[in-house]
Amino acid sequence: MILAESPRRQRVTKLVNWGHWFALANIIIAIVIASIFVFSSPMPGTSVGTVFLLANWFGHIGFMTFFGFVIFILPLCYLVNNQRIIKASASIIAAVGLALLAFDALLYNRTGFHISFHAADLLRDEAKNQISVENWQQWAFLFLLFIVWLGFQLVLANAIWKRVERFTRYKVGIPVTTFFVSCFVTSHAIHVWADAKLYQPIIKQDNMFPLSYPATAKTTMSRYGLLDLAAYEERKQLQFNPDIHNIIYPAEPVYCSVETSKNMTVVVQIDSSDDPLYGKTTLQVMQNYYSTASTIEGLITTTLFGVPEIYEAALSNKRPVLLALPLGSGMPVSIHSEEALPFPQLAGYLQPLSNNHQGLHIAFLKGDEIAQYVNSALSRQHDVIVATGFGESSGKGRLYSSIGLNADLASTEDLAPTILNALGCSAPSTFYSTGQNLISPSRPWLVSTSGERIVVFHDNKRTDVLSNGSYEISELNTGKRSNDPLNVDLLSQAIKHLSRFSTQH
């Protein structure tokens, strides 16, 4: 006797088949939308990091979309008899879900955050800004755009429904499932290894996609002797994110007075030619001055803002306190540079070198231009600070000054707070700089960055910390590698101090 399937079972089977094809179509759409997350983030830069990126992209987005289908749509196929209601409900669910994914991608592109309770304040501020900027026509356009998107989902649902019998002839279920499951498992397996090794090209991707919680296995690995948990925690303590996009600068409002009757000229050497003032000036000389910026743009940024070049990308719409405060008090301020300035908001300060007005001058010059310019400034009764050493492999140069400096160790970040203090500003330098006032320094160590490395100077030692937590200690005097133990407490304090303006630390 042949037992035929009941009409209800046939209908449910067709609906489930339709649902799987509808889910696959939306997985592909979601992967395309999720490309915004990928292209909004820096590339890993390594083959392993790229493999993880691709596996995580396809595996996580595929899993997240299919999970939504299983939770919201698949039950309808068994509980609701009317196929039109199921298709309409599934289309609405898919349209809303993908619209949220697109909104999250745009939010991530703009702010680096995902939709979450932690970002609620940011979302509220963004919403207020958009409501105040956009008029009703723009909101109507967005609503119309969603209606069009919903219409597309309805068309897609009906098109798949009409062709579902034809699609079922293609035996793609096992290959497609195998592909996405392989991507999902591979991404988590790679992340377990990367987390144990603190492998930064992978670890820094942890927050790339929404609702992403990559697997870790530190406790299990340490139990079987595959991971030294104490060493892991030490290295993790030294981790930092070199890609800073969101900052609060200055950290606090800076209120102080500037003595507009004072005049100061600051010169920063931008090439690696011989020190133009060595043995040729009566200015005070500080021997242990370090210029660690890896590019001229980074050097200019560090000088004007008083923060390391790691912040450069996040300062594109900020005004340096070093310039804004004196100018706001009525003091003329000029920048002199033949090199392009890193940010457009600085262009208004740019003046030719021949402009000898009173007030504050900050000049970025090559070595052969410095001596004459400094002598001219001194003849006009200006206080003078000259910083050299950029381009040297060790970063070591000299700091010349006509004002009394009381520090034994200095870096480019110290220039801004020293200048403002010399001009009469008594506001705490921690509000606007990672450096310190060299006239009355408060700490015996300094921290800076060079490319993606954190550099800490203390006790005649230089410690270079890579973004993955690995490090190297060398002697300042000889440059040779030191066998001294790592001062974890100092480095942890230095990294926290360095990232004080970042909203991601």
Give the pLDDT confidence score for residue 117 in this predicted structure: 62
Give the pLDDT confidence score for residue 199 in this predicted structure: 75
For residues 155 and 157, what is the distance between their CA atoms, to the nearest angstrom?
A: 5
Give the residue extent of every domain in the chain. 7-237, 264-443
Give the pLDDT confidence score for residue 241 in this predicted structure: 56
Give the pLDDT confidence score for residue 370 in this predicted structure: 94
* Residues, the chain: 505
Upstream peptide bond of 326 is cis (omega within 30 degrees of 0): no
Class of domain 264-443: alpha beta
**Bridge partner list, 290:** 396, 411
For residues 218 and 216, what is the distance between their CA atoms, to the nearest angstrom?
A: 6
Query: Could you tell me where the DSSP H helices lie in 112-238?
Result: 120-133, 136-168, 173-197, 200-203, 218-223, 229-237
For residues 86 and 68, what is the distance between their CA atoms, to the nearest angstrom?
A: 15
Give the pLDDT confidence score for residue 278 in this predicted structure: 87
Give the pLDDT confidence score for residue 135 in this predicted structure: 61
Decide: 245 and 107 in contact? Cβ < 8 Å: no
CB-CB neighbours of 494 under 10 Å: 25
For residues 185 and 191, what is the distance between their CA atoms, to the nearest angstrom?
A: 10
Give the pLDDT confidence score for residue 487 in this predicted structure: 75
Q: In what order do the strands lie in the sheet with 264-269?
A: 333-337, 360-365, 264-269, 383-387, 396-401, 284-290, 410-411
For residues 104 and 115, what is the distance between their CA atoms, to the nearest angstrom?
A: 6
Give the mean pLDDT per block of 10 residues along the chain (505 residues).
60 86 94 91 84 94 92 87 89 93 83 63 54 62 86 92 85 89 92 76 81 68 51 54 70 90 95 88 92 91 93 87 93 93 91 93 94 94 94 85 93 96 93 94 88 85 75 84 78 78 64
For residues 469 and 471, what is the distance between their CA atoms, to the nearest angstrom?
A: 6
Helix 415-422 vs helix 321-328: crossing angle, to nearest 10:
20
Give the pLDDT confidence score for residue 25 in this predicted structure: 94
